[in-house]
Amino acid sequence: MWERIVLLLCLPSAVVAQLCAPNAPNANKVRLSIKTALGSQAYDWNDDEMFLFQATLAFAMRNHIQGQEFNVSNVIVCNETQRVSFWFVVTSPLDPTRLIGKRDVEQAVRKSRHRLNSAFLLSDATLEFVGVPPTLEGPAQPDTPPWLIVFGVVIGLVSAGIVALLASSVAERRRKKNKVTEEEDEEEEADARGKTLENGSATEGVYNVTFSDEERFTQM
């Protein structure tokens, strides 16, 4: 009876301990080069630093999976080495025996990469999540298949051609129209002169025309 209770009490921690192991399916490896990064300013890696790592990673997980309250206890670390490297897994806040998938953890790390780096005064090169490229922000961009690039280029050229064609035809039409309206303007002007002469009196706008044409007027 007592043995069973003890076994039941020990079970969760035993299970959790098994969850984190080098090269386990959902485990990630971290490598820190604090001396390389900070030289004489380097700090010692200790339990407090590890707590900060667990906390910032829990923050990154909260940031990535909204609405789940990841805690420091959800970040399980194992196989820590002196020249600092270790493995970690993340358990679900809803069920501590279930692991968060490697993909989600990696995306969370990428999303909060800058925050993780600055927490430890390190860079992408000196705070290394082995196998997680730091440069891709957020969800990984799907690779563009080559046919899509060719298709895009062809479509681009065709539409550029169409635009050029349209633009040139519009310009042509506008030029013709301008010519026509210029001629029309000349005709209208001539008409206006004629009318002024007929009426003998002029509105103010046309007055100048009659004035400048006075010579012709007097000749008539």
Yes or no: say if 109 and 62 are a contact pair by the CB < 8 Å rule. no
| Among 78, 84, 119, 197, contact with ligand NAG (rule: CB under 6 A) | 78
The terminus-to-terminus CA distance of the chain in angstroms comes to 136
Which window, 65-73, 132-140, 148-156, 188-196, contacts ligand NAG (CB under 6 A)? Answer: 65-73
Q: Is the Cα torsion angle 114, 119, 122, 124 positive or negative in sign?
A: negative
For the bound state, the minimum distance from the C-beta of residue 104 to ligand NAG, rounded and expressed in Å, comes to 19
For the bound state, the minimum distance from the C-beta of residue 57 to ligand NAG, rounded and expressed in Å, comes to 14
Yes or no: say if 116 and 57 are a contact pair by the CB < 8 Å rule. yes
What is the Cα gyration radius of the chain? 40
Residues 2-41 that bind ligand NAG (CB under 6 A): 22
Read off the amino acid at residue 161: G
Site map 148..187 versus ligand NAG, x via CB under 6 A = ----------------------------------------
Starting at the edge strand that comes first in sequence, how are the strands of the sheet with 85-90 ordered? Answer: 75-81, 85-90, 28-32, 127-129
Which window, 42-50, 72-80, 98-106, 189-197, contacts ligand NAG (CB under 6 A)? Answer: 72-80
Name the token pair of 75: 């970040």
For the bound state, the minimum distance from the C-beta of residue 16 to ligand NAG, rounded and expressed in Å, comes to 13
Question: DSSP of 149-218, one letter per residue?
Answer: HHHHHHHHHHHHHHHHHHHHHHHHHHHHHHHHHHHHHHHHHHHHHHHHHHHS---HHHHHHHHHTHHHHH
For the bound state, the minimum distance from the C-beta of residue 87 to ligand NAG, rounded and expressed in Å, comes to 8
Read off the amino acid at residue 179: K
For the bound state, the minimum distance from the C-beta of residue 14 to ligand NAG, rounded and expressed in Å, comes to 12
Which window, 44-52, 68-76, 197-205, 211-219, contacts ligand NAG (CB under 6 A)? Answer: 68-76
For the bound state, the minimum distance from the C-beta of residue 105 to ligand NAG, rounded and expressed in Å, comes to 19
Residue 18 or 169 having the CB closest to ligand NAG = 18
| Among 10, 43, 63, 69, contact with ligand NAG (rule: CB under 6 A) | 69
- Looking at the DSSP assignment, which residues form a beta bridge with residue 87? 29, 78
Residue 64 or 113 having the CB closest to ligand NAG = 64
Instruction: Summarize as ranges the residues that interact with ligand NAG (CB under 6 A).
Output: 22, 69, 71-73, 78-79
